[in-house]
Amino acid sequence: MYEFYDKDSLREYRNTLKDQNRRVALVPTMGALHEGHASLITHAHTLADEVIVSIFLNPLQFGPNEDFKRYPKPLDDDKQYCKDLAVSALFLPSNDIIYPPDAVFTNVTVPSLSSLYCGQSRPNFFSGVTNVVLRLLNLIDPDSVIFGEKDYQQYIIIKSCIESLFLPTKIYCSPIIRNQQGIALSSRNRYLSKQDRHDAASIFQSLCKVKDAVQSGILDATELTAVLKKSLSPNITIDYIAFVDEKSLTPVTMIRSGNRVLFAGTLNKTRLIDTFELTFS
């Protein structure tokens, strides 16, 4: 597995792959890899000949009171994890490579979608994400890029960005991976105590209740919000519950098959997000 720390050696590698007609898939990460990332990498292998994983803890997507400093950084474990998953190359840029201090800063944002839902309580989060992802796509020029379904709003925002800026990269969304308790895997789950995990599992249980309610014919978003709240642990502070159109993220009042429920909350300062697709015949 190659390791690249600067853009010139990365470009040289990428150009060699182009000359050899090798298709490249990128899995962008912030490290602290887990089975959720493993499934993105496995998905990437089905799309391309070579899989590149980037690990960059992007300061722009953290607010002043968020966990940038304490975010886990098990770099040696991450490298081994990628090797075991037959990753071809790791891109491990420093902050100055991604945001060169001597370059004029160009801001990439999708304002209309970035201010919704997670963007309400994390005002700079999505512009941080689009800024880093666009830079990674321009540096690596992958044929495809893969994101996790858990961060569904992030996926839709990056998809819009790619489409509106005519980038040639194809974007894919990989299904959520859950632990045995149903908790959606996230690097931040490392912060959860045993009791927290018990409480966090109530998110999945509540979303299952919503899914069942939809399948039994309850389609009113207000009623479904009540269903979700009812089985949620009282230790979770709800940030938002939104029933949305799966493409535009516009709120819906009556569910149509294929719409989504988006959830975000905090549990002892740990932010947890989750989503379900709501289908019925």
Interaction site with ligand PAF (CB under 6 A): 28-30, 58, 61, 129, 132-133, 151, 154
Shortest Å distance, C-beta 110 to ligand PAF? 14
Which C-beta is closer to ligand PAF: that of 58 or that of 189? 58
* CA count, 13 A, side-chain hemisphere, 79: 8
**Cα–Cα dist 118/122, whole Å:** 6
**Could you say which of 34, 37, 45, 198 is catalytic?**
37
Shortest Å distance, C-beta 129 to ligand PAF? 5
Shortest Å distance, C-beta 245 to ligand PAF? 22
Report which of 121, 116, 146 is spatially closest to residue 24, judged by C-alpha positions: 146
DSSP 19-64: HTT--EEEEEE-S---HHHHHHHHHHHHH-SEEEEEE---GGGS-T
Examine the residue annotation and report whether 198 is marked as an active-site residue of this protein. Answer: no
Shortest Å distance, C-beta 118 to ligand PAF? 11
Question: Which residues, including other chains, have CB under 8 Å from residue 54's CB and lie 6 or more apart?
Answer: 26, 27, 28, 29, 90, 91, 92, 93, 136, 140
Residues forming the active site: 37
